[in-house]
């Protein structure tokens, strides 16, 4: 079964570049042995830098399941997830992630995300795009309100 789902991700990634929607990346999400969501990279066609295949597939699967978590699901992706997608995957909480190409393979064809991994390790002010804290009472109050909220949905 795993090969069948990975084949689908691979074929979708090939179709995506032929259709010129974005890079050679695709993902499918499987629950109970059936594909419930598909995603392809649409960064350039949608002018959305977050429109990676995994993110699109996660959004679709969560809509299908009417849930913000993918417990009981597996994600198959044509390439090892980038740092952004990795974060989205951890928030979505699928049971497994299977990938075909590696991040080194992606770097070889011009999709190198090593610099992001390196940036994460740096202090905020030392990053290429400096991250500067600006304290705000309303933002702090929102955190206090969240702590005090009795009927919140935890995730």
Active site residues: 54
Cα-based distances in Å from 155 to 62, 92, 104, 125, 142? 14, 10, 33, 30, 17
Residue 11 CA to residue 26 CA, distance in Å, equals: 8
In degrees to the nearest 10, what's the CA dihedral of 9, 24, 16, 48? Answer: 110
């Amino acid at each position: 079964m795993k090969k069948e789902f990975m084949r689908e991700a691979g074929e979708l990634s090939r179709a995506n570049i032929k259709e010129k929607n974005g890079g050679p990346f695709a993902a499918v999400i499987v629950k109970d042995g059936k594909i419930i969501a598909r995603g392809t990279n649409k960064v350039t066609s949608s002018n959305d830098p977050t429109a990676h295949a995994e993110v699109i597939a996660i959004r679709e699967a969560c809509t299908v399941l009417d849930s913000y978590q993918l417990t009981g699901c597996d994600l198959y992706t044509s390439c090892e997830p980038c740092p952004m997608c990795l974060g989205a995957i951890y928030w979505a909480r699928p049971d497994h992630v299977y990938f075909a190409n590696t991040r080194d393979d992606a770097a070889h064809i011009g999709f190198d995300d090593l610099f992001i991994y390196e940036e994460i390790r740096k202090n905020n002010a030392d990053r290429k795009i400096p991250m500067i804290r600006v304290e705000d009472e309303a933002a702090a109050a929102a955190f206090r309100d969240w702590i005090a909220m009795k009927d919140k949905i935890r995730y």
